[in-house]
Amino acid sequence: MAIRHYWSMAAAAVGFRLALVLFGGNLHLASRPEVSTPLTSLRRLAEGYWLKQASMSPYSGSMYHGSPLLLSVLGPLTSSKRSGGHHAHIYCSLVFVAVDFLAAMLIRSTGRRLQMARNRSLKSLDLTRSVNSSVNVSSGDAASLIYLWNPWAIITCVGSCTSPIENLMVVIMIYGACSRLAPLAAFGYVMATHLSLYPAILILPVTLLLGYGPDSPPPKVFLLKGLSASKVGMPENEISTGQRDFRQFAWKPVLHFTLWVFIWSCYVLLLSSIILNNVGGRQEMFEKTYGFILTVKDLSPNIGVLWYFFAEVFDVFRNFFLIVFNMNIVFMVLPLAIRLKHRPCFLAFVYTAIVAMLKSYPSAGDSALYLGLLGLFANELAEMQFTFFLFFGYIGVSLLSPVMHNLWIWRGTGNANFYFATGLAYTCLQTVLVVESVSSMIKHDRKLRLLVKA
């Protein structure tokens, strides 16, 4: 069931962003640690572009740690920012508004493809009427509106940081994989990994999406349906028709994806070398981007927990805990892929949420992405528990974080523990969200199996 007045609500979200960009110049969101990080700060990008224009390496010192490609795309728009003008902020924010709108439209298209796959699966299981009678909303429309109206997506867009571009690349990757467009999926994967490194773990859900197609119930459900049909004398060719579409793995799109990943990677490295010609090299780029992400050298406060932990840990144990925290993300990849291999798009959402929770420099833009992707599964997760607690928990953290930061930094009536407590609560909320969403999806699959038995 499509959402009424969808385009009116989408246009209102874009208009609200434009109003904040044009008339909200005193919000100072770019300086907020919840919005801007050392990797996504537009101020740092402006500094890197100025160094490059002065024939110096943009990675000189400890200011810029982003991609060289962003220097060429956004750098000219920030050239007037050093002189105190507001035009650079407006121009960059307008670019981010367009990027956010494009990401929302791709999320909507992805949701429609998932909805078609869901309806096709339910039809093959003869469960369309029993399942859709409870809940059947347009997940694509809901997800895109959640992304457009998410306050964190709005402040990230208006706050002039590069998170919307990173989110767009992840969305392009998922949309391309759902559509089995290997070149597009490979482009999004290479660019997302180049900009942020952590999306590299999305290689598994992308491969499953290209091989098996969009999400579907577990193969055991179709096997159970076939056994039930055989007992009532249904012809064997009709029984196996629905199963073949969901059990065969297509290697051709995966091979095309691998080839295009290699091609796009060569293009990115070549362009980076051209941009950094005579002012740096690829080795310095890797050290100042990927190395900076993995070693957590900048301990400025953010909404994560790693900055506080590594500020307190003894130096002799620093390398050990760096390995522990970085491998913590990797350890979750394979078990989740084994359990959720039949729902690769949902698996991509889970990976994205885990990355936003455990990455070294998280921001509000990371949460805006996975909350938007969560809307793609509005039908499957309709019975998810603790939604009231999670909703108001996110609101509480959003309100308390700037208050605690102000008490600590500006008023001097608090300390770092005040701000860290909000980050710890934020991490706990994300943990509950991931656990409950996975549990609800498993319960939904179990419900389909019971309906088939009935």
pLDDT by residue (tens digit) across 198-221?
999 999 999 999 998 888 777 777
pLDDT at 244: 45
Mean pLDDT of the chain: 87
Output b/e per residue, 144-155; b: 16+ Cβ within 10 A.
bbbbbbbebbbb
- Counting Cβ atoms within 10 Å, is residue 326 exposed (0-12), middle (13-18) or buried (19+)? middle
| Selection from 355, 359, 340, 329 nearest residue 437 by Cα | 340
Overall average pLDDT of the 215-235 stretch: 67
Position 58 pLDDT exceeds 50: yes
Element (H, E) at 91: helix 87-124
Position 83 pLDDT exceeds 50: no
% of the chain beyond a pLDDT of 70: 90
Which residue has better confidence, 83 or 314?
A: 314
Overall average pLDDT of the 256-278 stretch: 93
* Tokens coding 136: 């059947």
Position 56 pLDDT exceeds 70: yes
What is the domain partition of the chain in residue ranges?
Answer: 6-453
Position 427 pLDDT exceeds 90: yes
Which residues lie closer than 8 Å to 153 by C-beta, 6 or more apart?
A: 100, 147, 164, 365, 368, 372
- Counting Cβ atoms within 10 Å, is residue 454 exposed (0-12), middle (13-18) or buried (19+)? exposed
pTM: 0.92
| Selection from 63, 24, 280, 259 nearest residue 160 by Cα | 24
Overall average pLDDT of the 432-447 stretch: 93
% of the chain beyond a pLDDT of 90: 56
Residue 245 pLDDT level (bands cut at 50, 70, 90): very low
